[in-house]
Amino acid sequence: MIKLLDKAQDPSHDSARTHVRGKSEFIDDRPMVAGELHVGVVFSTEPHAKILGINTDAALAVPGVVGVYTAKDVHHNLWGTIIQDQPLIADDVVRFVGEPVAVVAAETREAMEHARRLVRVDYQPLEAILSVRAAIAAKSFIAGERSIARGDVRAALASAKHRASGTVKIQGQDHFYLESQCSIAYPREDGQVEVHSSSQHPTEVQHVVSHGLGLPAHAVVCVVKRMGGGFGGKESQGAPFAYFAALVATRTGRAARCVITKDDDMVMTGKRNPFEIDYTVGYDDDGTIVGLDARLYSDGGAYADLSTSIMERAMLHSDNAYFLANVKITGQVCRTHVHPHTAFRGFGGPKGVAMIETVLEDIAHRLGIDPLDVRKRNVYRGPDRDVTHYGQKVENNLLPSLFDAIEQRCDYRARREEIRAFNARSKTQLKGLSITAVKFGISFTTRFLNQGNALVNVHQDGTVQVSTGATEMGQGVNTRIAMVVAEAFGIGLSSVRVMATSTEKNHNTSPTAASAGTDLNARAALTAAERIRARVAKVAAQLFELPEERWPSRTAGLGTMPEIEIDQATAPDDIVFEGGMVFRRSNPERWIAFSKLCREAYLSRVQLGDYGYFKTPGIYFDKLSGQGEPFFYFTQGVACSEVLIDRLTGELEVRRVDLLMDLGRPVNASLDLGQVTGAFVQGMGWCTTENLVYDDKGFLLSHSPSTYKIPSIQDTPRVFDVHLVHNEGNTKNVRSTKAVGEPPLLLSLSVWTAIKDALHSLAPSDRTLALPLPMTHERILLAARSLSAARS
């Protein structure tokens, strides 16, 4: 039985007020310093070509231009998060339109832009591969083929009562963060450099800059105050732009600012990986899947970036919420001559989920069974159908209950009948209805990334500074960390400040990604806070045994009393930190303010700062065998979407969305609701409007808001009913919470399957529809016309 959380009035985002007032500082808001230079990037106009020569004479002659730098100026020119195969600046060959070939530095932005246009690059074009199928034909791959399998899929398919095959074609998606890639580098004394970057991964920036400049890591500091959006696009691909700024800063001895335009950002940077998935499924008369063989191909672009890990995540999520007794999932990343694709909210998960959800939808329509019933028959449930194809048991499983709850809350059965009648009589419009689920594994699948550290400093006035490896990109991770620390000390949230992320305070950080930012960093901060609290509690226990005139604040300056010693003191178990006060549980009338206690502890030479560390326990995954327990836990949810389609124009309206999300015991339910709704709408864009269009050279034509349509307020569901469910069963995680950043995006696939449901009313009962992602208005119109023509 599902119970919903009450609506919460939790603290707002820590930067909400400064955002609204325009006072939040982003990279390009930092004031220019004396002598600061502007840095721009000259990029390739060819998808695959040999560089015959680069002429910089005209650019260097522009007044105010200080330098033009090419690959010969780079100390170590290869970088890559997993495989170091990508040049920072192309040397002899370019491999995608948008690849950097030169860096220009000038005293004004106008001079820099002028000089960029005057750099002349002579190319000898080479054959380019611009699609997944072309890469497969040419055997152009990144890394090897991987498989995850269970059972005997060949025998299961051979004996299945029904079989079906199909292809799911999934396009990419641009991150469209409002703050483009940008960095400022400041040269410091003794060959050091300080880089301020809009990055989800300060440590990678530090490493790329140090390697590219030939400096040791301790000579480079990367600072990240906040990002104006990231969504995965700044997990790896922010690092080269930081390097370009640092290159100029160290060569000239002047601060250097690299801030690229939105158009150039979209042309140069990678997107969500496009996928093409071929599948064959066998199933029984009631829709139960007995065997599934799926081959996943992704477009990795010209270089590896994170595509191999993204493919792994897609393979791990190809089951989504459903038990597959006999299954083989094969994955292969393809190398093409387009920008290297990269992390995006959900990583590879949305692609695997899109495949299995369309498989279930097709099974239902072939059998004439309601798709919800097919999903409920295949959903994970115990005791014999609760282990994934990679060998991990689905614990704290709410999926069957979530399906039942959403069915009742949204009045699914009655609406299904109403929609069937509406489609039968309407000549100009169609309605569709669909429920999909998500079971999203939380953890990096590369085990060593599942670690975090935090520095907590408590000051004498009882205020606290916290530094972690988490980066704030609008998701509210700093607010959550501050709330966890404030609760540990029993003080108000305003007394805790989370500082800018810096590699000199937090070393070897993992990227803020995989929805694990709060899990790792808040847990590390809590560990440090609990150590401090334990020491301070010992001080409090001894103070309560002394009259106040003998406390350190009255005696330390005169040296009239021995200081309080805590090393040998017994840890008190009845000291309470609450409401800014500290007291014994047995005697709450006698209390001391936390701020005053901190002063007494300091005067007693008790350590008021500490470093916390956390590594996620109990996770492992053998990438060779495809078996293990890669996830700490699963975030779960369901959504029901209803759409209205205009058959004459292809216009789509998302009429209603009902959504239930299991986020455990949220640290901040208000922020979590914002993440759920935001992720869902961003996913709607991927499913319906965000169409990447390239020319025959792989140049992105839709590289601005005028040609690339992210969802607007007019695209949001007319009725949007979102609720969090009550679940305190995730006891292994900090505060029993569950991650929220990525999982809700996958529920937007219910909009795509609802479109499919609507169009199925025009198709013969035994026909299934191969709809691509996204289903834009144009594609809806063409599909409706084609089906109507075939019907007549």
Active site residues: 742
Bridge partner residues of 497 (DSSP) = 465
Helix/strand/coil for 576: strand
> Which ranges of 709-748 does DSSP label H, i.e. alpha helix?
743-746
Listing DSSP states for 361-414 in one string gives HHHHHHHT--HHHHHHHHB-BTTTB-B-TTS-B--S--HHHHHHHHHHHTTHHH
136 sits in the region (left: phi over 0; alpha: psi -120 to 50; else beta) called: alpha
**Of the candidates 446, 445, 416, 519, the residue with the CA atom closest to the CA atom of residue 736:** 519
Question: Six-digit token pair at 277?
Answer: 């998935």
With a CB cutoff of 8 Å and minimum separation 6, the contacts of 280 are 157, 163, 164, 165, 292, 293, 294
Helix/strand/coil for 289: strand
With a CB cutoff of 8 Å and minimum separation 6, the contacts of 247 are 69, 73, 74, 103, 212, 213, 256
The conformation of residue 785, written as its DSSP 8-state character, comes to H
- The Cα–Cα gap between 768 and 791 comes to 14
Helix/strand/coil for 301: strand
Please compute, for residue 526, the number of CA atoms within 13 A of its CA located in the half-sphere on the CB side: 18
Task: Report which secondary-structure segment, H or E, holds 554.
Answer: helix 552-555
Task: Tell me how long the chain is.
Answer: 792
Question: Six-digit token pair at 685?
Answer: 């864009």
CB atoms within 10 A of CB 188: 14
Question: Six-digit token pair at 194?
Answer: 């300080």
- Residue 385 burial (C-beta neighbours within 10 Å; 0-12, 13-18, 19+): middle
- The Cα–Cα gap between 528 and 538 comes to 16
- The Cα–Cα gap between 11 and 7 comes to 13
Listing DSSP states for 142-178 in one string gives EEEEEEEEES-HHHHHHH-SEEEEEEEEE-------S
CB atoms within 10 A of CB 294: 24
- Residue 222 burial (C-beta neighbours within 10 Å; 0-12, 13-18, 19+): buried
With a CB cutoff of 8 Å and minimum separation 6, the contacts of 461 are 595, 598, 599
The answer to whether the CB of 475 falls within 8 A of the CB of 667 is no
With a CB cutoff of 8 Å and minimum separation 6, the contacts of 235 are 81, 200, 201, 204, 306, 342, 343, 511, 512, 513
Question: Six-digit token pair at 223?
Answer: 């600072």
Helix/strand/coil for 712: coil
Question: Six-digit token pair at 467?
Answer: 């530094």
Q: C-alpha 159: how far from its chain's center?
A: 41
Omega before 383 within 30 of 0, i.e. cis = yes
The amino acid present at 205, given as its one-letter code, is V
- The Cα–Cα gap between 435 and 372 comes to 6
**Of the candidates 168, 216, 289, the residue with the CA atom closest to the CA atom of residue 753:** 168
